[in-house]
């Protein structure tokens, strides 16, 4: 009753396909319209993404309402895509699920590279030059996480299931990503001689990626929890993570070097730039054993090997 006739309700959230129609039914007004205008913002670069988007998506079932929302972006230098509401809602899920699939694929290729003696960086450099593939989202690592990819991939599987389609491909992507966490944990176990029971693991990084303070569905947390369940003590440093106190099994340290004090192995689990500047000789003086699992491939392997480290990366020896 408080909405004036002609009001357009804009939904920016990632919501199940059909939500715009559902909201319209809840409103119960033929003179109020619902438009889907999903955001494509990345944590850590949200302002840049908002001001300089690659595309603007406006979806609705009333053409005038769609044009009203599209006009808000008249000064934005980006394509404005107009479509129906269901298409806009599906597009957001499709985009995130495709990116998750691409990351999972390159992680699987990295695992194969390790088995056959190939270097994943040489492989992906060739892949990325193919314009049909592109060079984005080709960095192997511990798996994807955060507040979007896990929920959006599972939601799309559920949406498909609810409409009679078994999205086996995406279910496989989710399963393979979960297995990637375990693969990285097992690398740590391997460099520790086959067991981490009674040992201390130093972690550089806790957030799901650099330039954010978010621990939600973080691969680092999943990997460290696996090691904790195997009997390891966890010491960790992250320059920005919030909410670590909710994980009392993690001993939070004030610096990357402090986290290494007395640890049996080091695991690099978030790609914070500052980690590349730490002197491996200083790290070696803190650790009980000079072993490192570089789950983000951010360290210089030759530099660390020259300092006497047993180095394990992802997709390369």
Average of per-residue pLDDT across 47-69? 94
Query: For residues 11, 209, 53 and 171, what is the CA-based torsion angle, rounded to 10 degrees?
Result: -60
Angle in degrees, CA 136, 224, 234, rounded to 5: 130
Where does the pLDDT of residue 71 fall: very low under 50, low under 70, confident under 90, or very high at 90 and above? very high
State what percent of residues in the chain have pLDDT above 90. Answer: 93
The confidence band for 317, taking pLDDT boundaries of 50, 70 and 90, is low
CA diameter of the chain = 72
Query: For residues 112 and 106, what is the distance between their CA atoms, to the nearest angstrom?
Result: 10
What's the CA gap between 82 and 88, in Å, rounded?
A: 8
**Are 161 and 181 in contact, with CB atoms under 8 Å apart?**
no
Contacts of residue 30, Cβ cutoff 8 Å, sequence gap at least 6 = none
Per-residue confidence at 277, pLDDT binned at 50, 70, 90? very high
Q: Count each helix (H run) and each strand (E run) in the chain, helices first.
A: 11, 10
Please determine, for residue 291, whether its predicted confidence score (pLDDT) is greater than 90: yes
Mean pLDDT on 21-36: 93
235 and 261 Cβ atoms separated by less than 8 Å: yes
3-class secondary-structure state, position 131: coil
- The tokens of 186 are what? 């097992």
pLDDT greater than 80 at residue 188:
yes
In 10 A of CB 170, how many CB atoms? 20
CB contact at 8 A, 64 and 31 = no
Is a pLDDT exceeding 70 seen at residue 147?
yes
Is residue 272 within 8 Å of residue 227, measured between CB atoms? no
Would you identify the CATH topology of the domain 8-83?
A: Rossmann fold (3.40.50)
Catalytic residue from among 113, 148, 192, 253: 148
Q: Give mean pLDDT, residues 1-24.
A: 91
What mean pLDDT do residues 206-229 have? 97
Judge whether residue 116 has pLDDT over 80: yes
222-258 pLDDT, tens digit per residue, is 999 999 999 999 999 999 999 999 999 999 999 999 9
Kindly state the average pLDDT of the residues 129-156.
96
Mean pLDDT of 267-284: 98
For the chain, the structural domain boundaries read 8-83, 95-317
The model's pTM is 0.91
Question: Mean of the pLDDT values across residues 62-75?
Answer: 96
Query: Residue 122: is its pLDDT beyond 90?
Result: yes
**The predicted structure's pLDDT at residue 49:** 87
Q: Which CATH architecture has domain 95-317?
A: 3-Layer(aba) Sandwich (3.40)
Q: Do domains 8-83 and 95-317 have the same CATH topology?
A: yes
Helix/strand/coil for 78:
coil
Specify whether 113 is catalytic. Answer: no
- Report yes or no: 216 and 249 within 8 Å, Cβ to Cβ: no
pLDDT at residue 41 above 90?
no
Q: Dig out the tokens for 16 from the structure.
A: 């199940």
pLDDT at residue 187 tops 90: yes
Q: Phi, psi (5° rounding) for residue 155? A: -65, -40
The average confidence (pLDDT) of the chain is 96
Instruction: Round to whole Å and give the CA distance between 5 and 291.
Output: 67
């Amino acid at each position: 009753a408080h909405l004036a006739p002609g009001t357009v309700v804009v939904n920016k959230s990632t919501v199940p396909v059909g939500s715009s129609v559902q909201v319209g039914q809840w409103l119960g007004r033929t003179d109020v319209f619902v438009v889907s205008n999903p955001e494509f913002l990345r944590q850590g670069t949200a302002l840049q993404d908002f001001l300089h988007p690659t595309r603007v998506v406006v979806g609705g079932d009333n053409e005038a309402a769609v044009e009203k929302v599209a006009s808000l972006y008249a000064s934005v230098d980006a394509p404005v895509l107009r479509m129906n509401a269901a298409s806009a809602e599906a597009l957001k899920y499709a985009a995130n699920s495709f990116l998750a699939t691409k990351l999972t694929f390159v992680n699987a290729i990295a695992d194969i590279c390790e088995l056959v003696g190939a270097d994943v960086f040489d492989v992906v450099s060739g892949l990325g030059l193919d314009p049909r593939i592109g060079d984005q989202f080709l960095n192997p690592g511990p798996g994807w996480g955060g507040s979007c990819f896990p929920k959006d991939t599972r939601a799309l599987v559920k949406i498909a299931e609810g409409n009679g389609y078994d999205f086996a491909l995406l279910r496989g992507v989710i399963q393979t990503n979960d297995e990637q966490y375990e693969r990285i944990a097992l690398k740590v176990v391997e460099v520790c001689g086959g067991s981490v029971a009674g040992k201390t693991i130093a972690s550089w990084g806790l957030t799901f990626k650099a330039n954010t303070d978010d621990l939600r569905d973080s691969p680092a947390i999943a990997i460290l929890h696996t090691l904790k369940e195997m009997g390891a003590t966890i010491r960790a440093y992250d320059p920005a993570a919030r909410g670590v106190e909710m994980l009392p099994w993690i001993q939070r340290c004030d610096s990357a070097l402090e986290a290494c004090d007395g640890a049996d192995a080091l695991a690099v689990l978030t790609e914070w730039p500052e980690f590349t500047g730490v002197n491996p000789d200083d790290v070696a003086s803190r650790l009980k054993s000079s072993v490192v699992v570089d789950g983000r491939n951010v360290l210089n392997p030759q530099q660390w090997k020259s300092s006497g480290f047993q180095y394990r990366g992802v997709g390369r020896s």
